[in-house]
């Protein structure tokens, strides 16, 4: 198939300024619920973009594990590439693509690590294999042989048999506190709807329509 001819026309829905919530987190909650109800494969999968201090970007998918007025939480290995980049430069962006709903949500903000208690509250709910994995893997470091990883997993599984697996110091959550959000609804002939929210300490949230 010729990629130049591969396109879809979007016609499912419209997004009006008047029909969006003044609070973008409330608007996100409405759309997230609709993504869940639509039984999308992983509605909480989002692209996380980070950058080095000298502006070299990198992006990858992570899972949203909670959101509220404070922001959007996800979990990872603090020693990973994203962890190192966020340690040096807290500016980051998130993107959700809910293709079946012809929707995109873009979020920009600053990221801070969660308190260890909050990371523990999530870590303890993870399946045993995932908790062991967080100890066994040094995310984003070179692994010369997969067998080494599997051996570490086997050793740690025996070691922690019948014991509570503690939270690794190198593992936990981050929360992105948003300063900007955009809700994108696909429309016909590429005349999409885009509602863009910005935050200022004096005026709180303000929203406008952007050109497609």
For 95, residues 6+ apart whose C-beta sits below 8 A from its C-beta are 46, 47, 49, 104, 105, 106, 107
Buried/exposed 165-190: b ≥16 CB within 10 Å, e otherwise? bebbeebbbbbbebeebbbbbbbeee
11 lies in the site for ligand FMN, by CB under 6 A: no
125 lies in the site for ligand FMN, by CB under 6 A: no
Binder of ligand FMN out of 13, 61, 115, 143 (CB under 6 A): 61
Residues with a known catalytic role = 190
88 lies in the site for ligand FMN, by CB under 6 A: no
Unique residue bearing structure tokens 């198939």 = 1
Q: Within a 13 Å sphere around the CA of 79, how many CA atoms are in the beta-carbon half?
A: 12
Q: How far is the CB of 152 from ligand FMN (least distance, A)?
A: 18
Q: How far is the CB of 133 from ligand FMN (least distance, A)?
A: 11
CA 101 to chain centroid, in Å, comes to 18
37 lies in the site for ligand FMN, by CB under 6 A: no
Only segment of 16-24, 77-85, 98-106, 161-169 that touches ligand FMN (CB under 6 A) = 77-85
How many residues touch ligand FMN under the rule CB under 6 A: the total is 15
Write out the residues near ligand FMN by the rule CB under 6 A: 42, 45, 58, 60-63, 74-76, 80-82, 139-140
């Amino acid at each position: 198939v010729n990629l130049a001819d591969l396109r879809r026309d979007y016609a499912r829905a419209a997004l009006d300024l008047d029909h969006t919530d003044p609070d973008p987190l409330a608007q996100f909650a409405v759309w997230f619920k609709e993504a869940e109800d639509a039984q999308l494969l992983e509605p909480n999968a989002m692209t996380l973009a980070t950058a080095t201090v000298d502006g070299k970007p990198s992006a990858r998918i992570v899972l949203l594990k909670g959101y509220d007025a404070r922001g959007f939480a996800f979990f990872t290995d603090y020693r990973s590439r994203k962890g190192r980049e966020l340690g040096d430069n807290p500016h980051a962006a998130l993107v959700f693509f809910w293709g079946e709903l012809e929707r995109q949500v873009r979020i920009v903000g600053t990221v801070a690590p969660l308190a260890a208690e909050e990371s523990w509250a999530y870590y303890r709910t993870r399946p045993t294999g995932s908790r062991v994995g967080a100890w066994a893997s040094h995310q984003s470091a070179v692994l010369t042989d997969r067998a080494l990883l599997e051996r570490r997993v086997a050793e740690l599984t025996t070691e922690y048999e019948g014991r509570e697996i503690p939270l690794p110091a190198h593992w936990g959550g981050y929360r992105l506190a948003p300063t900007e959000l955009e809700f994108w609804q696909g429309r016909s002939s590429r005349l999409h709807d885009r509602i863009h929210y910005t935050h200022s300490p004096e005026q709180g949230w303000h929203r406008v329509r952007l050109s497609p």
